[in-house]
A and B are shown apart, each in its own frame.
Chain A
Amino acid sequence: MSPFGSDFGVIGTVLAILLGLFLAGVAIMVLIVSVRFVAVAVGRIIACAGGIVGDLITAVVNLAVAPFSLARALVLLVIGRFREADRSAERFQSRIVEVGMRLWSAVVQRPLRIAGVRVPPRRHSLVPAHGPVGPGAPPPPPLMAHRGAATAPPPFAASPRSTVDPPPWPNPAGFSNSFPGYEIEGRLPSGGSGARLFVAAPEPAKQVLLPGTPSRVVIKSFAIGEGSTLPQIIRESRSLDAAKSLGLVLDHALEPHRFWYAMPHFVGPTLTELVGQRHRALGSSRGLDSRSLRELVSLMADVVENLAKFHRGGLWHKDVKPDNIIVSAGRAHLIDVGLVTPLASTFTLTTHGTEYFRDPEMVRQALRGTKVHQVDGARFDIYSAGAVLYSVLENTFPAHGALSRFERPSPESLRWIVRRAMADYHRRYPTMDEMLADLRFVLMAKSPDAALPAQLPSMRGADPASMLEPRLELNSIAGAAPRAAAGAVRDRDAGGPVRRFASRWCGWGGRSAQTKGACWKSTMWSPWATAAVAVVAIAVGILKSDRGSRSHERNSSGNRAVVHAPAAGESTSRATRRRAESTDLPEGSGPVLVERSLMLSNTIPESAESAAMVAIGKKGWTPIVDDAEALAALATLAGREPEAIQAELARRGYRGLVRLEPRGERVHVRPVSFIAR
């Protein structure tokens, strides 16, 4: 055999193998492309089908509702209520426009999109290409609800976004609704500022650049040619940098004839709607039940905390009202930063705001020509927060300011907070932190009704930081309520040994607020009376301690866990030992009532609400950070070494850090990282 013959044979084999590999590669590539093509096609078909269904549903709903709007408009016209008739007619028109656009989208746009054909925006015949501007402009089609998940039509939930797809409907009225890097998904009702509001999805390249990489944003656009004015644009842009630093504004651009900025998008009911639902559920005059009350007050604490962040960031919101608060995923979010103003602004104060939620003092100052930096704008927000809390309790607005009467049953402590917030400019809460501390005290009380005004941290002159930031008061890491009473304890301790003895017993966790109130009051009596009360209090305290032990027994059986906080600075007295015992947290699962305090709940702001939400049995909370991480965070917040924190915890009698873990609807309590005593 020729040596070449074997060589050719080898070469041929190699070539055959290479060819085979090549063909296999090509086949695989073809297969991949085919699969991708099929996947894309199927995806588009599904998206199209979903979109068409959504479009048709929206069209049918609008078509069904439109005659009612028309009939209402006619009736209002006949009875002479022209303004309202005009609005109803506008609503009718917008519904008809919506029907047209939805049908266009379902019949033309979406089917063509399967083939990858991009349909250029088409102006609807019912709306002029360059529609009127200003107050007479047609209202935006109700395509997506920024407020009110219940009213959000399904199309947007059903139709997937694509970065190359055109907007699901054409530019209806000739508004300049194109924003680089964003795909417009819908419009929201415009507010009183004349700005246009759009819901938009950032393109992937833009999305990664935005804080929090949001999938949707709200774009507020001011265009000179669309009814906005230069002063409005200047006012809106004035505090942009500060608003961006606080995460209120994600992106912005100033163009020759337009100014716009993007904000986080929240979908959910407004506080107005939620409060109305809760009150209606219980009857018109019965007030809120304990569960609803805790839920709504917890949301109020969210609002107040957000406002505190505004103020710390050098801004004030200026338009706090229930309609500007959206409840989404169990949290309250402040929207509408249109009036946000730097606290140090040198501009003259204006009267903008919403009547009944706007502090009359602000109007007076504005009329006097006072500059913004000459007053404390944060106090005007505090007034508004008090007015919002009033509306939560009463389901109406405070028509008489701080003198507005409470007509529905509500806890006295919350009424007190409302009145303190809405008091005269110089006499109200000086900071949001103080209001927040009071609200948290009520939330952490055994029941809101049990908390008395006298026990509120602000009433005792307690440092609000003791309920907020461990940097200032390490006590706050546990026993927020007992530690917030530090001021009161100090006051009580000033009364001599007998009084001090009595008052210490009076401050035990688990005791009813009424008992504590009576006990505190007793310190003003004669020493003999105080001693007598002390004896009674000791007896009650012992009984309460025994009751606490029983509650732990219940927890062991999986029924209920009552988390008591140990007091700070306790000696090795018998009382302290008893109390230390009552803070044991046996492992186990079960619905947890977090009473008075929860370790970690005040150490990391992001988790404080989680703890509160656990306390009221809400779902959807995020797990609290790991114990080591918590300790490190605590050390950072307190500005001390972790070892020093550990030593301080041990010195003060804390048993350790606690982690709560979600287990479906139940919560698992697991003590971790116990500190050696």
Chain B
Amino acid sequence: MGARTCVVHLKTGPGPSQEGRDDAMHPITTTFVDRLRNRDESAWFELWETFGPVIRAHFARWGRGAIGPETARDLTQETLAQLAGAIERFDPERGVRFSTWLLSIARHIFGDEVDRRMAGKRGGGRRAFSLDAGPPASSDGVAPDDEYERRIFRAKVMAAIRRVESTSDFLGFQVWQTRVLDGVVGREVAERIGTSEPTVSRHVARIRDRLRGELARTISEYSFTEEESREAERAGLAASDSAFDAAIAEIYRVEAGAPSVSPDGASDSKAWSSIRFPPRGAR
């Protein structure tokens, strides 16, 4: 797909809370946005790695079977490339949620794709997909937008876990992963790795503490409003240790299960490198 000028109307989607408008962005967020604006490719890769799967899944859902994994990936790349342009115009004073910001651009990209396809067919001009209506609510009765917000939040939690994994010692993290994420009892974990239960408990407590800290940092980084920052509390991540572990395990169970996209989507050798960011300041 060729590069197109993207005009993103940030007012689409759920509106920001009043509190969010009043509060300034967290310094971590500001730093992250600055990195994006400075075309720090590592920051963009983080964005791709963390939220790419969510956006891909959303495209696939919008497409209702008419969007294959490759197209979903192409659109995700396009979204990211457009984000690079939109970040220049991002205004923190408007208090738009980070997730909304992402979704707005994704909607725009998807709309363009639909228009392009319909223009090449008879009956062009009639939209085959209604982005506003979206697919029916999921089986648990969650509205599509709510489901999207939940996925974005889960993606943030997974990003935090990944960061803890990359900065912790292997054994300690594996003990925590086996105990908390896989739900194996402490005694069995101790047996498997040849240590004692108290050692397992120490590892779990240490990783839990690190995860709490990393979670706060990650959520701040990818949250533009105070409302988003408080999502962790609402998800039970500010509760007691056992509740925290249970909430993390549940998020992991939902998020890190079998992939929803076909492996065909993986057979690309240049997925990341093929993204062409518009030059800085391009509109």
Contacts and interface: CB of A to CB of B under 8 A. Distances in A.
Interface of A: 79-84, 192, 319, 323, 339, 350-357, 360, 363-364, 366-368, 394, 396-397, 399-407, 412, 416, 419-420, 423-424, 427-428, 452-455, 459, 514, 517-518, 520-521, 524
A531 to B, nearest CB: 18
A84 B63 CA distance: 15
A355 B121 contact: no
A354 B267 CA distance: 6
Contacts of A350: 273
Interface string B254-283: 011111010101111111110000000000
A407 B194 contact: no
Closest CB pairs A-B (n = 5):
A454-B194, A399-B259, A367-B41, A424-B166, A405-B256
Nearest to B46: A364
Contact of B68 (A81, A366, A404, A452): A81
Interface string B141-164: 000000000000000001001100
Contacts of A79: 66
A570 to B, nearest CB: 23
A415 to B, nearest CB: 9
Contacts of A363: 45, 272
Contacts of B121: 80
Nearest to B271: A355
B117 interface: yes
B198 to A, nearest CB: 10
B192 interface: yes
B66 A400 contact: no
Interface in B162-180: 162, 165-167, 169-170, 173-174, 177
A355 B268 contact: yes
A353 B195 CA distance: 38
9 contacts: A83-B68, A319-B269, A352-B273, A355-B271, A402-B162, A423-B170, A452-B192, A452-B194, A453-B194
A364 B42 contact: yes
Contacts of A427: 169-170
Contacts of B117: 80, 82
Nearest to B161: A403
Counting chain B residues whose Cβ lies within 8 A of the other chain, the interface size class is 35 or more
Contact of B192 (A354, A400, A428, A453): A453
A397 B259 contact: yes
Contacts, number: 131
B162 A401 contact: yes
A501 B121 CA distance: 82
Contact of A351 (B161, B162, B196, B272): B272
Given A323-B267, A368-B42, A81 B66 contact: yes
A402 B176 CA distance: 14
Given A405-B256, A455-B194, 17 more contacts: A80-B121, A354-B267, A355-B265, A363-B45, A364-B42, A367-B41, A399-B258, A402-B165, A403-B162, A403-B252, A406-B182, A423-B170, A424-B167, A453-B174, A454-B194, A521-B194, A524-B196
A453 B158 contact: no
A412 B266 contact: no
Contacts of A352: 269-270, 273
A192 B268 CA distance: 8
A400 B270 contact: no
B253 interface: yes
Contacts of B265: 355
A452 B193 CA distance: 7
B241 interface: no
Nearest to A368: B42
Contacts of B252: 403, 405
Given A350-B273, A427-B169, A355 B266 contact: yes
A403 to B, nearest CB: 5
